[in-house]
Structure 1
Amino acid sequence: MKIVKFETFPLSIAYSQVEHSSRVHRGGVSDVVVKLTTDNGLIGWGESCSGADTASIVAALNAMAPFVLGQDPWSSEAIAREVFRTGLWDYRAMTGNYAFAGIDMALWDLCGKDCGQPLYRLFGGALRSEIDYFCYLAQGTPESLRRQCAAAVKRGYSCFYLKVGIDGAAEEKMLEAIRAAVGPRGKIRIDANEAWSVPEAVHWLTRWHAAFGIDFAEAPVKAFPLSLMKELRQRVPVALCANEGLERQSDTVQMIASGAADVLCFSSYWVGSLRRFHTLSQMAHLYDQKVCKHTHGEFGIAAAAAHHILLTLPNATDGAQQTASVLADDVVAGGLPVATSPRWGLIEAPGLGIEIDAEKLQRYHEAFRRDGQFLPYAA
């Protein structure tokens, strides 16, 4: 089995609500879908994260194509080595990882289809029968937060996630509304996207944990130097989650070994492949750290790939991150279970176990060609 065709489709799909944080303000997701076709007719699908600029990811994928065409999909590690070492993408690690992650997903999709097995079985089999996902709340008035939470509680959500770090006084009122709406057992997680200094983080986390019970705080301060997170971890009663600062394999290894975080929030985008994500998550387990699957904003292809890995991890948290519930549409035929529910069970179809809606693929490809990407600084 050899790969004979390499295609890329940059897509733009709108959110049903604006994503607003201390770092981004955007109205949807623009990613690049990768389609690999083999000489025996199998098709593998993947999704590359756009990061800051979708066009640069398309260019990177085109540069990687010669290392993929003509190769056996079962040689994914050899392909990755050629891309990063011979192709020199290890000198542009983040762009390389964001782009290659989509190729890697498509290679694994082909392998699963070739042997007739769902992806999670190729990574050691499932350790759980389902994964719990979070409710992604939109910043707004306290009444808006109450409405969002009340609707989510009815759908069975137990983990609620709010971006913070913009206006502490306003966010305190939002958190008060969230706690009132979700009750004492609902988990509240916050993400400051590194907006705070250490003193600011100490102030807000100590205050909010006492008042509302914060389950964990994601990226409260800059990840590097590691001394910032380590100092904060000693001064607050809240579990800390690292996200920014896990941009490469070496960064993730440093964070794990440092003990600066209780939870790692990352995905194959950060480290370039599903195998690396799986391996580094297992390493975190040896250090008694949890892993919360991250989303940059993603379509159902990347969501399905990560879901397979989560099923196999001994240290996966509940409240895994997803954007399916806030996307206006998707290219996965029939959508994903987490578009309307917090839980997603085993996927038993081969490979990624999803089908792509060809009409929607073309529609949102045309939307990208017509309107461009959803910029991270414009709704």
Structure 2
Amino acid sequence: MKIKEIELFAINLPLIDPFIISYATYDSIQSIIVKMTTDDGIVGYGEAVPDEHITGETWESTFEVLKNKLAPAVIGLDPRQFEKLHDVMDHVVRPAPAAKAAIDIACFDIAGKSMNVPVYQLLGGRYHEKFPITHVLSIGAPEKMAEEAAKKMELGYTSFKMKVGTEVTTDVARIKAVRESVGEDIAIRVDVNQGWGNAATTLTALRKMEGLDIDWLEQPVLDNDFDGLVEIKAKSDVTLMIDEGLRSERDMRELIAKRAADKANIKLMKCGGIYPAMKLAVMAEMAGIECQIGSMVESSVGSAAGFHVAFSKKIMGSVELTGPIKFSKDIGDLKYDIPFIQLNEKPGLGIDVDENVLQELTAFSEKITE
């Protein structure tokens, strides 16, 4: 089996509500869909959702890297040879993780379809039966975030991820308002997206947050500040999760060596796809660090890929792949049973892509052949 053709679609996924985090506001999500076809007619789909603040890639640069470098390099290769595929891609361009993830995911989709098994069967088989979905609260006024949380509780949500990372006093007011709104039995996770900058500011915030009983604090300091995370751990009893600081095996080695965080947020777009994500998960498992599969707000294609990784590994304690329920229009049909996600048993990713919607959302496209 050989990769014969790759089509690229740069799309805009429309959001129901703006997605607001510490460093950006999004009215839509810019994504690149890869449609890969083999010489025996099997079609697989992959996705890249780059973020210049995290992966160093833009929508436009990712499209060009795929068009001019990665797609030509993998044409003619066997899509089931994941180690070789990544070695070839790593020699062509570094790091470009979101672009590589799109190729990787499409190859796994093809491999599963060729063997008539879901992708999770290629990753060691299914371990988890279902995961609860955490609702993500975008940055807003304290009362607005509290009101949204109360409404989502009525739908059955039992955990919330709060986006903060502006000014400490205002952020703490947001957390207090949500805690008062949802009561003591609901899990609240606080994601700063690097917004507090350093350990000193974070420790000030934590003193103000005493008694609010947060589940964990995610990436409060700059992405390269592993020592800042170590200081926070030494001076507080908060559970820390690393996100933007964890992209590669090198980052995971530093995390393990310094015990800089209690939890690791693995995202396919940060590390290069399913195959590298599994490597990170195994490294974390050996060190006893619980993992989460996180989201760059992907469509059903990228979200399904993340779920297959999460469902196959015991070390995965949570998932935050909620892109498809944030979009007013999606190219795929990933099903949520709010507040849970339960994967189907279809081959590959298990996603049917609506080609009409794909064309409708496409801003520009390209086809690469042998």
Unaligned runs of 5+ in 1: 370-379
| Residue equivalent to 1:56 | 61
| Residue equivalent to 1:240 | 240
Aligned counterpart in structure 2 of residue 341 of structure 1, from 338, 341, 345: 338
| Residue equivalent to 2:117 | 117
| Residue equivalent to 1:355 | 352
Distance 2:322 2:250 in 1: 25
Asked if the contact 1:22/1:166 (under 8 Å) is kept, the reply is yes
1:321 offset after TM fit, Å?
A: 4.0
1:301 offset after TM fit, Å?
A: 0.5
Which amino acid in structure 1 is aligned with residue 201 of structure 2? E
| Residue equivalent to 1:200 | 201
1:161 offset after TM fit, Å?
A: 0.9
Distance 2:167 2:315 in 1: 33
Secondary structure of 1:212's aligned partner: coil
1:110 offset after TM fit, Å?
A: 0.4
Distance 1:272 1:360 in 2: 26
| Residue equivalent to 1:68 | 74
Distance 1:253 1:261 in 2: 12
1:249 offset after TM fit, Å?
A: 2.5
Asked if the contact 1:295/1:323 (under 8 Å) is kept, the reply is yes
Asked if the contact 2:2/2:78 (under 8 Å) is kept, the reply is yes
Distance 2:315 2:124 in 1: 14
Distance 1:175 1:69 in 2: 50
Q: How does 1:1-379 map to 2 (within 5 A)?
A: 1-52=1-52, 53-62=58-67, 63-85=69-91, 87=92, 89=93, 92-93=94-95, 95=96, 97-196=97-196, 197-208=198-209, 210-332=210-332, 335-338=333-336, 341-366=338-363
Deviations 1:111-146 (A, max 9, x none): 100010000011111111012221011222333223
Which amino acid in structure 2 is aligned with residue 84 of structure 1? D
Return the TM-score normalized by structure 2.
0.92
Distance 1:117 1:206 in 2: 50
Distance 2:203 2:105 in 1: 40
Which amino acid in structure 2 is aligned with residue 143 of structure 1? E
Which amino acid in structure 1 is aligned with residue 205 of structure 2? W
Secondary structure of 1:190's aligned partner: strand
Distance 1:99 1:194 in 2: 24
Distance 2:19 2:167 in 1: 16
| Residue equivalent to 2:368 | none
Asked if the contact 1:67/1:79 (under 8 Å) is kept, the reply is no
Distance 1:7 1:156 in 2: 40
Q: 1:217 to 1:195 in 2, by over 3 A?
A: same
Asked if the contact 1:17/1:138 (under 8 Å) is kept, the reply is no
1:322 offset after TM fit, Å?
A: 2.4
Which amino acid in structure 2 is aligned with residue 165 of structure 1? G
Distance 2:207 2:172 in 1: 12
Return the TM-score normalized by structure 1.
0.90
Which amino acid in structure 2 is aligned with residue 55 of structure 1? E
1:27 offset after TM fit, Å?
A: 1.1
Instruction: Please give the root-mean-square deviation of Cα atoms over the aligned residues, in Å.
Output: 1.7
How many residues align? The count is 358
Q: 1:166 to 1:225 in 2, by over 3 A?
A: closer
Stretches of 4+ moved more than 3 A in 1? none
Asked if the contact 2:3/2:79 (under 8 Å) is kept, the reply is yes
Distance 1:32 1:181 in 2: 38
